[in-house]
Each structure stands twice: as C-alpha cells, then as structure tokens.
Structure 1
Amino acid sequence: MSTSRLRYALLGLGSLAYTALMFVWFSVPAWLAALSADFGLTSTQAGLLTGAVPLTYVPVALFSGVVTDYVGPYRAIGTGLLLFGGAQVGRAAADTFPVLLALTVVVGFGATTITFGLPKLVSEIFPPEESGTPSSVYVVGSLAGTAAAFSLGRGVLGPALGGWRPLFYYTGLAVLAYAVLWWVVVRWAPLEEVRHREPTGESEGEDEGEGEGATTDEDEAVLSVASLRRDVGRVFASPSMRLLVVVGVVYLLVVHGLQNWLATVLQSRGVDPTLAAMLVSGFVAAEAVGTLAVPTLSDRLGERGTVVAGCAALCFAGTATLLVPGVPLAVPVVGALAVGLGVGGISPLVRMVPAELDEIGPELTGTAVGLVFAVGELGGFLGPFLVGVLYDLTGTYAAGLGVICVGCLAAVLAGHRLPV
C-alpha cells in the first residue's frame, strides 16, 4: 500500500473510532425518556446524566491531551476504544442511577483519548496546509455516530433487539471487537513511513524513533515531569488560545445543550418520539454539512475568525426560533437545522486553529486542543444540566435555551478577535 493510501486508511479507521464513540455517547440522550422512566429520574438527574461525559473532560482533558502528545495517537485511540466499549457493556446491566452515572463517566474518560488522538493523528501524518479535509473527515465520522444513535439505535436496532439494555450490550461488544482490530492494525502497519516530516534537518531528527513517539522511553519519563509543565504554560500564555477557549465553551454549550434536549423539547410540543429522534438526526446531518463546507470556505476567505463568528451568529438565530411559542413546527425545525449548520462549522475549526498559531504549532496540538476541551466542556456540562435544572425550576425549556443564546453572542465577539 502506498504512503498516501495508508495515511487515509489510518484516518478512516480513526474516524470509525470516533463514529463508535459518538454512538455510545449519544445512546443515553437518544433513550433519555426510557431511561428516565426506568430509573425514575428527575429532569435535574437526566441533565446530570447527559452532561456527565462533558463534565468528565473538565478535570481530565488537559492531562489527556498532554499525554496524547507523548504516547502518540495510536495508543491513545486504542485505549479509548477499550474504555468506552467496556463501559457501554456495563451500562446495559446497570440497576441504579449511581452505577449508570459512574459508567457514563468512564465513557467520558475514553472519549478524551479519541477527541485529542485524532487531531494529533492528523498533525502527524498530514502537513498543516493539507489538514482541513482530514479534519473534516473525522468530524463527519463523529456526526455519523451521533445521527446513528438517534436514527438507527433509537429507531431501528433498539426496538428490534428489545430495548435499550440489549442495544447497549451488543454495541459495546462491537466496540470492543473494533478495539482489537485497531491494535492489530497499528501493531503491523509501517507507521514511521506515514509520519509527516518537516523539510528541515532538525525536524527530521526530532521525528526519528521507534513506534509512534519521537522520543525514547527514558526521554518520555523526563518529559512527563518537566516538559509537561513547560508545554502547558506555553499554551496557557497564548492570548489567541484564550479566545479559542471562549469559542470552545460556547460551541460545547450549544452542541450538548441543544443536541441532548432537542428530542425532548420537540416531544413537549407534541411531536411523536420516533419523529423527534429523526429530527435530531436531521440536526446532525446539518452539522455534517457545516463540517464539510465551512473549513473550505474559511480556506478561501483566509479569515477563520470571521467564519467562526458567523457560525456563532447562525447558532444564536437558530436557537432563538426555539423560544417562540405557538408557531408551526417548521419554524423550530428550520431553526434547529441552522444551529446544526453553525456548530458543524465551528467543530473542525476549533481543532484546526491551534496548529496554525505561531505560538502553538503541530507539536503542541494535543495540549492546545486539550485546553480547549478541558475548559470548554464546562459549557458542555452546563448546557444539558442547566436546561434540565431550569426546567424543574420554571416548568419551561425557554430559560435554558435563553442561556444558550447569550453564549452564542459571546462566541461571536471572540471569533471576531481571533488573529487567523
């Protein structure tokens, strides 16, 4: 197999890992009504459950991103598959809410390794000027998993298998089987042949080494103590990264807050549960369109910050339509599709921008993306959690959706100030 084909084969396999992750992740939101009934959950508990994976990122993400920079993307992705696949099998047998919540946190641990492993993989095997399309590919893979959780998992496989428990069990086993395949491939594939090397002699020297990493085991032991602190400090010191973190917080606030609750919000308006799940799949399809189209648009314009701001403005307008009561169903549906298009465009950009910043570059991509998600997943947790809590307090979803709208305006301002 040629080097180019091997690169895209690895990208495709990594993207399927992301597909599997998002199917497992969003199996809970897809079956939230059934889970709430079986476990007797309040809206606050349901919000905590759907926000558990994003919340896990807050203490774990930065460390996971730094570790990914040093152990390499292949080990990170393989470990993640084992973690969330095993947790999905365990959730099928959960008999109490605390057990279900704890296993969902384990899914979150595995999720971090995929989230940071794939940008690291792209930065290692593709040059920066060619990273846009590969980044879109794996993000589309993640969206396919999300859509499948609602349409295929909720609408087809779950009913056919007899409910959410057998669905969780068999899909967890499928992920574990895929983990074995991943480890076999990366064990035997000539990984050093596909590593992208800078044209300078110094960079080439840095890339030499065995396996995935560019350092020996002894070097990694030193890096894990002293260099880890240095790299994290460099990322934190970047003003551009601070702006990107704001965008990341809002992006995750929107995508988790709205995506987790959209089916339930639509059902509260009288929409059939199966149709509501299918409409969420439409939301995810709009994300895919944004993911594929927006990076190309930003390449042509040469203004990634302006494009980010435009996507955030689209999210604001779309979410605002969900606040309007007594309108035909088509209005919130179109609004939800607009939000999907906007967050789909932001998704690859927050992963691409760090590698293009002079003070970050490809070598600190894992750490930088880890920072974005470590802080950003506060928004990922607060989105679904606040929608649930505010519903318990007010009896309406409008309050939580209003918070999301305010966040979108903050992302518009941050996007305009990004120096890319």
Structure 2
Amino acid sequence: MNDAPRPTGDHPAATAPTGGVPAKRWVYVIPVAAVMYMLAYLDRNNVSVVLPYMHGDLDLSNADKGLAGGIFFLGYVFLQIPAAVLAQRWSARKTVLILMVAWGLSAVLSGLVQTRAQFYAARFVLGFFEGGVWPAVLILLASWFPLRERARANALWMACLPLSSVLMAPLSGWMLDHTSWRWVLVLQGVPPLLWAALWWFAVADRPAEARWISRAEAAHLAREIAADEAAKPAVGGGSYLAAVRQRTVLVLIGVYFFWITGFYGFSLWLPAVIKELTHDGSATEVGLLTAIPFTVALVVMIANAAWSDRTGRRRPAVAVPLVVGIVALLLGQVVDGALPRMLLLCLTAAAVYAPYGPFWAIPGQFLRFEVVAVAMGLINALGNLGGFAGPYLVGWLTDATGSSLTGFAVLAGFLAVAVVLATLGLRPGPARPSDGSQDAPAPAANTASNGGS
C-alpha cells in the first residue's frame, strides 16, 4: 500500500493516482452505472424523437407535446431526497435496482396508453421512479472516488446523457420508420429490466464490499475519502436541515433550476428543430442528425471536467460554457442556412452539457457524507423542475407566436440567470498552497471563505 502525498495534476482515468495502486474502479463502477443511466435517459428522452411523428394519434398540440415532455419532471421530484437517504443509510445498489425495475415497467406501459390523459400519467409515473436514481448514484460515486477525482468520475458517468442520444436517437428514428411509436416506447422499456441483473452482481456499495477490487486499492480509497471528510467543517452537528439551509446549497438550487430549464427546453425540442431543417426528412435521417450535436457535447463535457479537476476551478467550468450556450442559442434563431444552424446547435449542445461534472463535484467539497445526500437530492429535485418549465415554455410560446424564436430566446434568458447566480452567488474558497488556485464555493453559510475545496 502506498502513502505517497496526494498529487494535484491530471491523471489518466485507468491508472492509479498514487504510484502502484490499481484503479479498477474506473473500469468496473463507471461503465455499469453509465449504461444503467443511459437506459434511464433513453426512456426519458425518446419521447422527443417520437412526438414529431405521433401524427395526431392522441391529438397533441405543441403545448400538449411540451407538457408531455415536461410532466416527467413533476414526478421526478418526489423520490429525490428519500432515495438519497436510502442510498446513504441503507444501500445505493439496492435502491437503484428497485427503481430500475419500476421505471422499466413504467416505460413499457407508456407505449400502451390510449388517451392523452393516460400518456401524461404514464410520463409522470416514469419520472417518479427515475427520480431517485440520480442522487443514489452520486452517493455511490462518493464512496468510490476521492474529491480530486470527483468531477471526472461524475462526467464519465454523466457522459451517458449525450451518449444515450448519440446512440439511441438514430435507433429510435430507424424504429419509427419500421414500426409505430407505441412499439418504440414498449421495446425501449425492456433493456432496464435485463440490465438490472448485471447491476446486482457487478456493483458494490463501497470498495470494502467488492470482490473484484484489490485490498491495496480498497485501503487507498478508504484513506483518501477519510481525509476528504476530515477536511470538511461540521455542519450543524450533521443536521440535514442545517445542511440544506446553507447559502451555497440554495444558490446551487437556483443555478441548477435556471440551467436545466434551458437545457431540457433545448434538448427535448432539438429533434423537432432538426426535422424542420431537413424539410420534414425521414425519422431515420432526423435521428442520425440529432446524434451529431450530442457527440460534440460528449467530448466537451469530459474535457471540461478534466480541466476542472486539474485546476480546481469549478465556477468557470460551470459559468463559461453557459455563456457560450446563450450566444449560440440566440444566433441559431437568426442565422440562415442549414449548415450554420446545425453548427450552432452543436455548440449549444456542448455548452449546456459541459457543466455537469464540475457542478456535481461542488456539494461534496463542502458537505460531509452524512448530510450531502439530502443536499444533492434537494438540488436535483427542485432544480429539475426546470425540466418541466423549459419544454412547456417552448411549446406554448411556439403555439402562441407561430415561431420557435421567442421560446428559445426565453431559454437563453434562463441560462443567463444561471450564469449570474454561479458567478456572483458561488463565492470562491481559499487557495491551497499545494493545489494552486481553487475556485470551489466556500462551505460556510455566511462567510466568504471557510475551508473550501
């Protein structure tokens, strides 16, 4: 076992951060979790590919389609904190397994609906069961990856978000050309039920419980994570209420809400925009073209997280991409030509995905493990209400004005509020002599700096 000092540079994901200690966690934990959530994201977002091709089956207006995309996030709120607490106090592995089976069955049922009200209800129930998965996996990763690796671990896991669209948008388009939208939803709800078996045997709640990990790596992780926890200040005697009332947690909720409003408003309407660019091309063509912006987003997302871990600068890694997204989103509504608009769609996608890894590394930098679960659950629950607001706003404003320009301009405004909150509300913590400049938020509720990052 190696007790070398913690380095501060960037490290390859599959090699040990300290000399000689293996790092199998990058190979075992991340891929299994990523595929699992990729399937969840598919069942959440396949509706964006399906909606333009429902051809009046349920008599949906643009506002109705926005509501169908967004109502998922009303259900998404309810299990955020309960699942986070279960993952922390009981088992992240078992919590995710139960939710995986439940959302898979819900996804299958969403293809069997007969009325608009049933479709809304199915989307709500799907969101209800998927809602607890995100915080539960963040708790799992916190048990496997020290803070100095956390943004990269988060980003590699969250890479499943754009990767799901890269792989599944063309698949959904191809399926729509060969079968009905109902069969697309039914068949795409089956894989989570199969993946649940692999999840059960491959994943452990913590290194000490994994059969495939070496004792050296398990001991190394125990030391690293214990050192991270010891460096954080106590919060109200470990009180959940004291943790979620911290100023930084409240600001993170605001940042996430306004960012996610723009994020999902863009993501869920992207296939419809591309369908317009192709002058009502086939579903397969639209699906293939939809994959391009998400491929760019995947690369930028991982690169931004690596930069954030290497420099410790979390605020710019969140705010700067969103500024780029605002500019690209607005330009995309006024420029002419399919190619320039497609390039701007790629830039927007990269910009709204890039903050994921750094953003979700922030709570663990100033909250101890016993309270961070509730804080992350609350941030994700309230922030993801923007996933309801964004798609619905775009659909409603498109119906009201006859153009998508107003809707996307409003989304740019939401992203601008997120930038202001991140820049002015997340105050930087102190610099560490060994790490250089650190830009993580200060942990104390009412002080500018108190032992950050």
Please give the TM-score of this superposition, normalised by the length of structure 1.
Answer: 0.85
How far, CA to CA, are the matches of 1:58 and 1:189 in structure 2?
Answer: 27
CA 1:190–1:316 in structure 2 vs 1: closer, same or farther (change >3 Å)? Answer: closer
How far, CA to CA, are the matches of 1:135 and 1:181 in structure 2?
Answer: 21
Aligned counterpart, 1:372: 379
Quick one: which of 78, 90, 98 aligns to 2:117?
98
How far, CA to CA, are the matches of 2:224 and 2:276 in structure 1?
Answer: 58
How far, CA to CA, are the matches of 2:92 and 2:78 in structure 1?
Answer: 20
1:409 pairs with 2:435? no
Aligned counterpart, 2:307: 297
Quick one: which of 136, 139, 146 aligns to 1:120?
139
Aligned counterpart, 2:241: 233
CA 1:94–1:234 in structure 2 vs 1: closer, same or farther (change >3 Å)? Answer: same
Question: How many Å apart are 1:36 and its aligned residue?
Answer: 5.2
Residue pair 2:326, 2:412 contacting (<8 A) in 1 also: yes
Identity fraction in percent: 20
Which of 287-296 and 187-196 deviates more? 187-196
Amino acid at match of 1:179: A
Unaligned runs of 5+ in 2: 1-20, 230-234, 429-439, 441-453
Question: How many Å apart are 1:19 and its aligned residue?
Answer: 0.9
Quick one: which of 321, 324, 348 aligns to 2:357?
348
Question: How many Å apart are 1:186 and its aligned residue?
Answer: 4.7
1:276 pairs with 2:286? yes
Which of 298-307 and 338-347 deviates more? 298-307
Equivalent position SS for 1:28: helix
Residue pair 2:84, 2:139 contacting (<8 A) in 1 also: no
Question: How many Å apart are 1:300 and its aligned residue?
Answer: 3.2
1:74 pairs with 2:93? yes
Amino acid at match of 1:259: S
How far, CA to CA, are the matches of 1:266 and 1:28 in structure 2?
Answer: 15
1:59-208 matches, cutoff 5 A: 59-154=78-173, 156-160=174-178, 162-186=179-203, 192-193=209-210, 196-198=221-223
Aligned counterpart, 1:49: 68
Which of 127-136 and 306-315 deviates more? 127-136
Offset from partner CA, 1:149-197 (integer Å, 9 cap, x none) = 311222x23434x222222222222221111332344589986256742
Residue pair 2:77, 2:128 contacting (<8 A) in 1 also: no
CA 1:199–1:261 in structure 2 vs 1: closer, same or farther (change >3 Å)? Answer: closer
1:251 pairs with 2:269? no
CA 1:181–1:253 in structure 2 vs 1: closer, same or farther (change >3 Å)? Answer: same
Please give the TM-score of this superposition, normalised by the length of structure 2.
Answer: 0.79
Unaligned runs of 5+ in 1: 205-226
Residue pair 1:30, 1:149 contacting (<8 A) in 2 also: no
Residue pair 2:314, 2:359 contacting (<8 A) in 1 also: no
Aligned counterpart, 2:5: none
Offset from partner CA, 1:120-144 (integer Å, 9 cap, x none) = 1110112222223221221112322
Question: How many Å apart are 1:319 and its aligned residue?
Answer: 0.7
Aligned counterpart, 1:265: 273
Quick one: which of 344, 361, 373 aligns to 2:368?
361
Residue pair 2:151, 2:360 contacting (<8 A) in 1 also: no
How far, CA to CA, are the matches of 1:151 and 1:267 in structure 2?
Answer: 13
Higher relative contact order (CA 8 A, sep 6+): 1
CA 1:55–1:61 in structure 2 vs 1: closer, same or farther (change >3 Å)? Answer: same
Amino acid at match of 1:111: E
How far, CA to CA, are the matches of 2:130 and 2:401 in structure 1?
Answer: 33
Larger helix proportion of the pair: 1
How far, CA to CA, are the matches of 2:80 and 2:205 in structure 1?
Answer: 29
